[in-house]
Amino acid sequence: MKILMAEDDFASRKFMSNYLGKYGDCDITVDGEEAVDAFMMALEDEEPYDLICLDVMMPVLDGYQALKAIRDIETERGIPEKDRVKIIMTTALNEERNVKKAFEMGCTVYSGKPIDLDKFEKILKKLELIE
Amino acid sequence: MAEEIMDEMDELDVAANADDDAQKGKYMTFQIGDEYYGIAINYVNEIVNIQSITGVPEVEDYIKGLINIRGKIIPVIDVKVRFRQEPVQYTDRTCIILIDVNSTMVGLIVEKIADVITINEKDIIPPPSLNQSVIGKDKYVFGLVKVADEVKLLLDPEKLIRDEDPMSLE
Amino acid sequence: MGEDFNTESMLDIFLYESEQLLETLQNVVLEQKDEDCFDDASINEIFRAMHTIKGSSGIMMYDNITKVSHKLEDVFYYLRESHPDNVPHLELVDHVLDVADFITAELDKIKEGDTPDGDESQIITELDKFLNKIKTGITETGDDLPPENKHEEPKQFYIPPTENESSKYYKASIYYRSDTEMCNIRAYTAVYSLKEITEDMEYMPDDIITNEDSGAVILEDGFHMLIKCQCTKEEVLEAIGDTSGVDWVEVNECTAKEFEMGFHEQEPAPIVIELDDKDKGKGKEKAEEKKEEKKEPTPGDYVIKGKETGKGKKLAKNQPKNSPKQSYISVNVEKMDSLMDMIGELVISEAVVLQNPDLKVPGLDLSNFQKAASQLSKITTELQDVIMSMRMMPLTNTFQKMNRIVFDVSRKLGKDIELEVIGENTEVDKNIIEHISDPLMHLIRNSVDHGIEAKEDRIAAGKDPKGKITLEAKNEGGKVYVIVRDDGKGLNREVLYEKARKNGLIGNRPMSDFTDKEIYQFITYAGFSTKEQVTEYSGRGVGMDVVVKNIQTIGGKLEIDSVEGAGSEMTLKIPLTLAIINGIVMEVGSSTFVIETNAIKEFVRFGKDMLVKEPDGEEYVMLRGECYPFIRLNQRFHLEETDSSIDAEDGIVVVLEHENKYVCIFIDTLIGEQEIVVKPIPSYIKKVQGLSGCTQLGDGSIALILDIAGLITDQERR
């Protein structure tokens, strides 16, 4: 599985890449802009990502902006729903309106921090990203 | 006089907050008729001078009515009447001891306030044989102590303010 | 917990909404339990509730809840589409309640932070069986089954954060010896090693690399750090190390909040108190502010401003991380209590000011003062209203809970009982609701268990085989009455007396010593019930005396009345925590009384020809051809006799009314009308018939408040 991660906090980055590394190749970016760039690059190389993990609070572009950009690009390229990249937003913000907004904008999973690793794994299975 | 006692009590309070044991054994004493009585200081909240009492109808004869202490309305009882003795006229020496018994606040009207004394538990002598039909003050005395040739009768505040007869419980 | 969420977190909202749905569902079911089948509206409602819970629990991956609600949704789908007859109604009711109970239990686990690990397989199996029964029932009548109920799989998911916030927060300080050089660089070394193990960190002074002079600052004030990490204190100390020049190091745990506040003086987030809809007019500006805060999050809100050395993350939006946007706050009840006390004191103080004897100088022009005074009064009245409304809540929820209890207990005992609820919208202070729930449950259980007889007994006695319990609430004269009435077998004087005597509760006093009501009160004595009376539902004598204690905590009392063979009535009388009423202050002899303005019909100058004296001593007053009972308060209350009681010349007669009954009292002088803060007469003093409380007047004296209903009842008795 090809994974893209956007996380500006060093410790979280280290943790997530260790964890996700088990499931596939993990590319790391440190802000929203880098993440969108990496996403574009992978599309153009015809080796798109299967899963993107986005932090919400990041420099330059925040998680919402990155999410919007990625979904807009997919729409512009006519990528059908079922082929779109699965996006997991991770953040300490847990208010209902944040979650609703993220869902509206096309995020697949919204996970509060600290991340419940058991449920996280369950979801990866449900989304058929892992066995 | 009330002010002095209050000052002493404030000091005790400070000490007590530091160490609850400091209060054990200290009694507030006062005079009713010819005798001196004592009440454990941890029941005593405040001492005020006699003031205007609003009568409440149809209460026991020893319940004199209500007083207003900084907005709080507190019932007061005349201890002499409670002891079934002849009541006396209130003078300016008369004080009201505000006690707190299990969250019930009651004022005790006493003739004269005396000192706060320290008593060792082992010096307390149980009162002479009680029988059920005892009336008057003896019902409320749980012990006696001798201090410098004077006998002080120690009162049980809970008994003092409540009737033991379950039928007249509120 | 539902009324009280102070964040709008996804999880809290899920819990709250689901609980609301389940409560409504339960009420709908209980309302219709006696019908032959559910009506269309109910079927739809139950279907929708299950559909919603299925959806939201699916998003949060609480699979067992999803499965169970899914199954029940299916059942109601078929009911809705095919309207089959002969659906076993009681069985269906049981299934719905089972599902509701299961989900509620799982929700409770989630609330506590535990895993909802309930096993749903049994419920699913039973629902499947039931569903098959229905489907067979439909096809047997020759109808076709409707198309399968389509379920959409959730496509988006939410994972709540794990509760165990294992991040720890520390405040660390390093102090260097006074001869140490380049402290700022040494400090930086400590920071660098800490970065390995910390999640987030902030330090002061923060310009240790860029500013040489920071070394001097550090020597003077020490070097301070706020650290967020998963480590122990020892690990932090170790990371800081023992660099030379260090005089001493201090590491202390601190709270997450302290960490967030950082080293900068931050203003605490403004507190916004949500006003009810009906107060919208008053809170218009507040509402505007709130609306702004409640705006949707916009992409770009969470971009992080350039990271500065030593400072924690700051959002470009100038909004500190995790600052809660609250439109509700939960307030410590004790604070509300003091607020209530203070408003009462404010009303009294206002009276002291406005009625101050200093103002009674004759010839003084007080027109400006009066204008200002009336403005002040207006404001304090508004203040009272808002504060009271903050605390008052309807009894609806509490009463609804009773429905379920009656249902469960009566079913298990094989009795058929109907619960009638009156006045459930009566509002009482929040404090009272908390204290009343358990006692009420106990009283209702008692009525079901001991009060209402078994069906056969009722029929034999010529009663309706269906028992009836009435739960009623009403507001009257500064008190709240909550009444539990049943039409069961009532209380038997002799039986109660014997029992009390046998258990040594009343010594040897003969039965004739006691009035009926006093005997009924025996059941509230500790140690009254013997073993024979213990059942699963109403327990030992531990019950009733605890009920009474609970009620007394809120200053109330329990009254018991009964007619043998016809039923019993338990009345809880609870004073409103703060009642402010309009009252007329009057003098009788040397006592001052207050009467609620509403109860006064009119004032009449006393004339001797009005008075009619009966041979038995009773007096009446003739007014416009009508005859009213007449009470001389000072005689009645055994107060000091004054001259005016005998040959009234200058007195005033006050005509009082309560529920269409009239009585007249005689007073000496009218003082005036004012707002009265009703304070209960200290519970130490036994209840006096005719008095409902007392109050403090403007001059500090105490006035007694007359209870008209009590006076009238008392008068009738004589």
> Which range among C30-34, C50-54, C524-528, C562-566 shows the weakest confidence by mean pLDDT?
C524-528
So what's the pLDDT on residue C275?
36
Query: Does C148 reside within a domain?
Result: no
Other Cβ atoms less than 10 A from the Cβ of A42: the count is 17
Query: Does C705 reside within a domain?
Result: yes
So what's the pLDDT on residue C321?
37
Query: Does C642 reside within a domain?
Result: yes
Kindly state whether C700 is in contact with chain B, defined as any CB-CB distance less than 8 angstroms: yes
* Residue-wise pLDDT tens digits, C656-705: 887 778 888 888 888 888 878 777 788 788 777 788 888 888 777 899 99
Q: Is C269's pLDDT higher than 50? A: no
Kindly state whether A72 is in contact with chain C, defined as any CB-CB distance less than 8 angstroms: no
Whether C159 sits inside 8 A of A115 (CB atoms) is yes
For CA atoms C665, C669, C673, C677, give the dihedral sign.
negative
- What are the chain C neighbours of B158 within 8 Å (beta carbons)? none
Whether C639 sits inside 8 A of B54 (CB atoms) is no
Q: How close does chain C come to B59, measured CA to CA in Å?
A: 7
Whether C161 sits inside 8 A of A67 (CB atoms) is no
In order of B82, C186, C204, C244, C310, the CA distances from C173 in angstroms are: 65, 13, 10, 15, 14
> Which range among C79-83, C214-218, C460-464, C476-480 shows the weakest confidence by mean pLDDT?
C476-480
Shared domain for C605 and C565, answered yes or no, is: no
**Which chains does chain B touch, 3 or more C-beta pairs < 8 A?**
C
pLDDT band at B163 (very low <50, low <70, confident <90, very high): low
Q: Is C203's pLDDT higher than 80? A: yes
Whether C681 sits inside 8 A of B52 (CB atoms) is no
So what's the pLDDT on residue B67?
92
pTM for this model (two decimals): 0.46
**Looking at residues C460-470, what average pLDDT do you find?**
90
Kindly state whether C325 is in contact with chain A, defined as any CB-CB distance less than 8 angstroms: yes
SS3 assignment, position B25: coil
Single-letter residue type at C250: E
Closest-CA residue to C382 (of C575, C599, C580, C595): C580
pLDDT band at B6 (very low <50, low <70, confident <90, very high): low
Kindly state whether C301 is in contact with chain A, defined as any CB-CB distance less than 8 angstroms: yes
Which of C299, C304, C305 has the CB atom closest to A64's CB atom? C299
So what's the pLDDT on residue C165?
54
Kindly state whether C703 is in contact with chain B, defined as any CB-CB distance less than 8 angstroms: yes
Single-letter residue type at A92: A
**Looking at residues B90-113, what average pLDDT do you find?**
90
Q: Report chain A's terminal Cα–Cα distance, integer Å.
A: 11
Shared domain for C230 and C200, answered yes or no, is: yes
DSSP C7: S
Contacts of C256 (CB under 8 A, 6+ apart): C165, C167, C169
Shared domain for C133 and C215, answered yes or no, is: no
Computed on alpha carbons and rounded to an integer, the radius of gyration of chain B in Å comes to: 16
Percent of chain B with pLDDT over 90: 21
So what's the pLDDT on residue C113?
80
pLDDT band at A41 (very low <50, low <70, confident <90, very high): very high
pLDDT band at C398 (very low <50, low <70, confident <90, very high): confident
Q: Mean pLDDT over all residues of chain A?
A: 88
**Looking at residues B69-96, what average pLDDT do you find?**
88
Asked if C68 and C51 count as a contact pair (C-beta separation under 8 A), the reply is no
Touching, C vs B (3+ Cβ pairs under 8 A): yes
Shared domain for C131 and C204, answered yes or no, is: no
Query: Does B164 reside within a domain?
Result: no
Query: Does B153 reside within a domain?
Result: yes
* Residue-wise pLDDT tens digits, C8-32: 678 888 998 899 899 999 989 988 8
Asked if C469 and C448 count as a contact pair (C-beta separation under 8 A), the reply is yes
Residue C656 is inside which H or E element, if any?
strand C652-658
In order of A40, A46, C110, C129, C553, the CA distances from C122 in angstroms are: 50, 50, 21, 11, 44
**CATH assignment at residue A52:** 3.40.50.2300
Other Cβ atoms less than 10 A from the Cβ of C3: the count is 10
Whether C199 sits inside 8 A of A113 (CB atoms) is no
Q: What number of H helices and E strands is found in chain C?
A: 20, 24
**Looking at residues A17-42, what average pLDDT do you find?**
90
Q: Is C96's pLDDT higher than 90? A: yes
Kindly state whether B52 is in contact with chain C, defined as any CB-CB distance less than 8 angstroms: yes
SS3 assignment, position C574: strand
Shared domain for C708 and C596, answered yes or no, is: yes
CA C705 to chain centre: 28
C-alpha A89/C-alpha A102 separation (Å) is 8
Q: Is C1's pLDDT higher than 70? A: no
Query: Does C588 reside within a domain?
Result: yes
C-alpha C669/C-alpha C605 separation (Å) is 11
Q: Is B22's pLDDT higher than 60? A: no
Q: State which residues form the domain around B17.
A: 2-158
Contacts of C338 (CB under 8 A, 6+ apart): none
* Residue-wise pLDDT tens digits, C417-441: 989 988 887 878 777 787 788 889 8
So what's the pLDDT on residue B110?
93
| Burial tier of C295 (Cβ tally within 10 Å: 0-12, 13-18, 19+) | exposed
- What are the chain C neighbours of B161 within 8 Å (beta carbons)? 684
Closest-CA residue to C78 (of C64, C92, C66): C92
Percent of chain C with pLDDT over 90: 13
Between C532 and A101, the higher pLDDT residue: A101
Between A50 and C359, the higher pLDDT residue: A50
C-alpha C123/C-alpha C71 separation (Å) is 9
Q: State which residues form the domain around C25.
A: 2-140
**CATH assignment at residue C248:** 3.30.70.1110
So what's the pLDDT on residue C385?
73
Last residue of a domain, one of C348, C371, C393: C393
Asked if C210 and C249 count as a contact pair (C-beta separation under 8 A), the reply is no
Contacts of C678 (CB under 8 A, 6+ apart): C478, C575, C576, C578, C579, C580, C581, C692, C693, C695, C705
Q: Which two tokens stand for residue B139?
A: 């019902």
- Phi/psi for B129 (5° steps) reads -40, 125
Which of A57, A60, A111 has the CB atom closest to C315's CB atom? A57
> Which range among B69-78, B84-93, C521-530, C611-620 shows the weakest confidence by mean pLDDT?
C521-530
Which of C9, C296, C313 has the CB atom closest to A101's CB atom? C296
Q: Is C571's pLDDT higher than 90? A: yes
Kindly state whether C348 is in contact with chain B, defined as any CB-CB distance less than 8 angstroms: yes
So what's the pLDDT on residue C219?
86
* Residue-wise pLDDT tens digits, B141-151: 888 888 888 88
Between C390 and B113, the higher pLDDT residue: B113
* Residue-wise pLDDT tens digits, A111-123: 988 788 888 888 9
Whether C159 sits inside 8 A of A103 (CB atoms) is no
Which residue, chain included where needed, has tokens 């906090």?
A: A9
Query: Does B169 reside within a domain?
Result: no
- Residue ranges of B 65-104 with Cβ closer than 8 A to chain C: 66-68, 71, 73-75, 104
- What are the chain A neighbours of C327 within 8 Å (beta carbons)? none
> Which range among C67-76, C347-356, C582-591, C646-655 shows the weakest confidence by mean pLDDT?
C646-655
Shared domain for C132 and C34, answered yes or no, is: yes
**Which chains does chain C touch, 3 or more C-beta pairs < 8 A?**
A, B
**Looking at residues C339-365, what average pLDDT do you find?**
83
Contacts of C209 (CB under 8 A, 6+ apart): C184, C188, C309
What is the number of domains present in chain A?
1
- Residue ranges of B 21-40 with Cβ closer than 8 A to chain C: none
So what's the pLDDT on residue C56?
92
Asked if B41 and B117 count as a contact pair (C-beta separation under 8 A), the reply is no
- What are the chain A neighbours of C323 within 8 Å (beta carbons)? none
Query: Does C307 reside within a domain?
Result: no
Query: Does A131 reside within a domain?
Result: no
Shared domain for C568 and C616, answered yes or no, is: no
What is the number of domains present in chain C?
5
Residue C268's Cβ-side half-sphere holds a number of Cα atoms within 13 Å equal to 4
SS3 assignment, position C636: helix
Shared domain for C361 and C430, answered yes or no, is: no
Shared domain for C610 and C671, answered yes or no, is: yes
DSSP C531: G
Q: Mean pLDDT over all residues of chain C?
A: 79
Shared domain for C176 and C59, answered yes or no, is: no
Query: Does A58 reside within a domain?
Result: yes
Whether A65 sits inside 8 A of C300 (CB atoms) is yes
Single-letter residue type at C385: D
**CATH assignment at residue C372:** 1.10.287.560
pLDDT band at C295 (very low <50, low <70, confident <90, very high): low
Kindly state whether C182 is in contact with chain B, defined as any CB-CB distance less than 8 angstroms: no
**CATH assignment at residue B67:** 2.40.50.180
Count B/C contacts: CB-CB distance under 8 Å: 74
So what's the pLDDT on residue C477?
64
> Which range among C97-111, C224-238, C313-327, C505-519 shows the weakest confidence by mean pLDDT?
C313-327
Candidates A13, A14, A110, A128: best to mutate against C (most CBs of C within 10 A) is A110
- What are the chain C neighbours of B58 within 8 Å (beta carbons)? 637-638, 688-689
In order of B19, B165, C41, C264, C311, the CA distances from C192 in angstroms are: 48, 77, 67, 22, 14
Candidates B51, B56, B66, B72: best to mutate against C (most CBs of C within 10 A) is B56
Q: How close does chain C come to A5, measured CA to CA in Å?
A: 17
Between B106 and C534, the higher pLDDT residue: B106
Q: Is A101's pLDDT higher than 80? A: yes
Residue B104 is inside which H or E element, if any?
strand B104-110
- The neighbouring-strand residues paired with A4 are A27, A52
| Burial tier of A102 (Cβ tally within 10 Å: 0-12, 13-18, 19+) | buried
Q: State which residues form the domain around A100.
A: 2-126
- Nearest residue on chain B to C346, judged by CA atoms? B71
Query: Does C415 reside within a domain?
Result: yes
**DSSP states of A36-90:** HHHHHHHHHTT---SEEEEESSEESS-HHHHHHHHHHHHHHTT--GGGSPEEEEE
C-alpha A83/C-alpha C346 separation (Å) is 68
CA C11 to chain centre: 23
Q: How close does chain C come to A111, measured CA to CA in Å?
A: 4
pLDDT band at B167 (very low <50, low <70, confident <90, very high): very low
Which of C10, C304, C321 has the CB atom closest to A58's CB atom? C304
Percent of chain C with pLDDT over 70: 83
Which of A59, A95, A123 has the CB atom closest to C303's CB atom? A59
Q: Is B98's pLDDT higher than 90? A: yes
**Looking at residues A46-63, what average pLDDT do you find?**
89
So what's the pLDDT on residue C99?
94
Whether C685 sits inside 8 A of B63 (CB atoms) is yes
Q: What share of chain A is helix, strand, coil (3-state, %, to 5)?
A: 45, 20, 30
Longest dimension (CA), chain C: 109
Q: Is A85's pLDDT higher than 90? A: yes
Whether C682 sits inside 8 A of B73 (CB atoms) is yes
Contacts of C511 (CB under 8 A, 6+ apart): C493, C494, C497, C519
Residue C316's Cβ-side half-sphere holds a number of Cα atoms within 13 Å equal to 15
What is the number of domains present in chain B?
1
Shared domain for C130 and C194, answered yes or no, is: no
Shared domain for C591 and C642, answered yes or no, is: yes
Q: How close does chain A come to C200, measured CA to CA in Å?
A: 8
Degrees to nearest 5, angle at CA C21 with C15 and C25: 140
Candidates B58, B77, B162: best to mutate against C (most CBs of C within 10 A) is B58
**Which chains does chain A touch, 3 or more C-beta pairs < 8 A?**
C
If DSSP states are collapsed to H, E and C, what string results for C324-362? CCCCCCCCCHHHHHHHHHHHHHHHHHHHHHHCCHHHCCC
Q: How close does chain C come to A59, measured CA to CA in Å?
A: 4
Candidates C593, C676, C685, C692: best to mutate against B (most CBs of B within 10 A) is C685
Query: Does C15 reside within a domain?
Result: yes
Q: Is B73's pLDDT higher than 50? A: yes
> Which range among A43-52, C281-290, C303-312, C695-704 shows the weakest confidence by mean pLDDT?
C281-290
- Phi/psi for C196 (5° steps) reads -60, -35
So what's the pLDDT on residue C292?
40
So what's the pLDDT on residue C322?
41
Kindly state whether C526 is in contact with chain B, defined as any CB-CB distance less than 8 angstroms: no
- Residue ranges of C 552-581 with Cβ closer than 8 A to chain B: 552, 557
Whether B56 sits inside 8 A of C704 (CB atoms) is yes
Query: Does A41 reside within a domain?
Result: yes
In order of C202, C230, C247, C357, the CA distances from C198 in angstroms are: 10, 7, 24, 69
Contacts of C693 (CB under 8 A, 6+ apart): C478, C575, C579, C678, C679, C680, C681, C704, C705
Query: Does C280 reside within a domain?
Result: no
In order of A104, C172, C255, the CA distances from C167 in angstroms are: 31, 16, 10
